[in-house]
Amino acid sequence: MRRRTVRITDVAREAGVSTATVSRVLNGAPSVDPELAERVRAAAAATRYVPNSNGRALRRQRADIWAAVVSDVQNPFFTSLVTAVEHVAVSAGYSVMLCNTDEQLDRERAYLEAAIAQRMAGVVVSVTSEQHSDLTPLLDAHIPTVVVDRRVQGFTGDTILMDNVEAGRLAGRHLLDLGHREVFTMAGPSGVSTTEDRLLGIREVLEAAGLPMQGRHLVRTDLKADEAETAVRAMLDRADRPTAIFASNGPLSTGAYRAIQRSGFRMPDDISLLGVDDERWTTMVNPNLTLIAQPVEALGRLAAERLLARAADDQTEAVHVLMAPEMKVRGTTGPVPAS
């Protein structure tokens, strides 16, 4: 026997509410009382209700899909970010399409054009370039858009960021407190707000201590672990090698750790390493990596919640959230090695 199709009226009857309330809850409207919303979700589960996404998309004139546009899907930070976005999206009845720009502007533009062409319900984007990424087409198409992790010039909508200047300050203070004066900072290419803000923070702290960041103290490389490993191995071969390295993002931290181990140096006895991003591997190695942790799950969750708020009311006032980083002192930083 064929099972009868469960309708929204069945869910409303089970929950003891109107069909309008069921629709608002299942469409992610944040204005519904939380207890009532939970009752509706429980009723939907009990009746095994499956929303008609095609019908809903036609009514909205939008697909029930969000685009998550990130700059490097191989970076575990972005994997965790998208997972957090997806968790909120699925709970609200949306699917998420992952778009990896690989730090390329032309690919970013192509994905944004696809989001417009497919009339997606929203976009969460970590841009390729603060100056050159252009989100105007999304706004002109009235597609709800939230910028996460990296700033983009001229965008006045919702932004969910970490305080990257403070992350740089935390790194500088920690290494100065340990007595380090020869601190080298590894950074990615210019033009990415996270990179430039972390540089600004550590530069500010070092200069206040009378240690201006000269050219040899800054090593720029691609935002990839292999490139970082090559750069650090060359750095360790220099006569004026540093006593401490600040690797300013996750892949750079991975490459720097690998380079120091393979070069035969000991952390922190010979050299200190301070990284960024509390990835799983950082506590699986010996010594554990001292690092600055980003609130990645909170960043993704808040970005997704802003898309839901915009779906409920596209005139809602934009929010600009700046979240605090966290220093986690472990085993790869210590006092300056004895001469």
Mean of pLDDT values over 221-250: 92
Span 149-183, pLDDT tens digits: 999 999 999 999 999 999 999 999 999 999 999 99
What's the token pair of residue 29? 């409207």
pLDDT at residue number 1: 43
Instruction: State the Cα–Cα distance between residues 273 and 333, nearest whole angstrom.
Output: 6
State in words which class domain 55-162+295-323 has.
Answer: alpha beta
Query: In the structure encoding, which two tokens stand for residue 249, read together?
Result: 């993002």
Domain at 8-51, CATH homologous superfamily: lambda repressor-like DNA-binding domains (1.10.260.40)
Matching residue, tokens 């519904």? 32
Question: Using one digit for the tens of pLDDT, what is the confidence trace for 278-335?
Answer: 999 999 999 999 999 999 999 999 999 999 998 888 788 999 999 999 999 999 999 9
pLDDT value of residue 29? 64
Ranges for all domains in the chain classified under CATH 3.40.50.2300:
55-162+295-323, 164-294
Kindly state the tokens that stand for 45: 């589960």
* Region 183-193 average pLDDT: 91
The amino acid that residue 322 corresponds to is L
Range from 34-38, 127-131, 325-329 carrying the lowest mean pLDDT: 34-38
Cα-Cα-Cα-Cα dihedral sign, residues 310, 109, 152, 150: positive
- Give the 3-state DSSP-derived string for the chain, with helices as H, strands as E and coil as C: CCCCCCCHHHHHHHHCCCHHHHHHHHCCCCCCCHHHHHHHHHHHHHHCCCCCHHHHHHHHCCEEEEEEEECCCCCHHHHHHHHHHHHHHHHCCCEEEEEECCCCHHHHHHHHHHHHHCCEEEEEECCCCCCCCCCHHHHHCCCCEEEECCCCCCCCCEEEEECHHHHHHHHHHHHHHCCCCCEEEEECCCCCHHHHHHHHHHHHHHHHCCCCCCHHHEEECCCCHHHHHHHHHHHHCCCCCCCEEEECCHHHHHHHHHHHHHCCCCCCCCCEEEEECCCHHHHCCCCCCEEEECCHHHHHHHHHHHHHHHHHCCCCCCCEEEECCEEECCCCCCCCCCC
Task: With cut-offs at 50, 70 and 90, classify the pLDDT of residue 31.
Answer: low
Give the C-alpha separation, 282 to 144, whole Å.
36
Pinpoint the residues of the chain covered by CATH 1.10.260.40. Answer: 8-51
What pLDDT shows up at residue 62? 59
Q: Determine the pLDDT at residue 222.
A: 84
22 vs 269, higher pLDDT: 269
Residue of higher predicted confidence among 18 and 268: 268
Q: Which CATH number applies to 164-294?
A: 3.40.50.2300
200-221 average pLDDT score:
93
CA–CA gap between residue 307 and residue 19 (Å, rounded): 23
Q: CA 122, 195, 89 angle in degrees (round to 5)? A: 20
Q: Write down the pTM of the prediction.
A: 0.80
List strands edge to edge, sheet with 158-162: 95-100, 63-70, 120-125, 145-148, 158-162, 320-323
pLDDT single digits (tens) 84-104: 999 999 988 899 999 999 999
| pLDDT for residue 151 | 94
Residue predicted with more confidence, 44 or 299: 299
**Amino acid in the structure at residue 129:** S
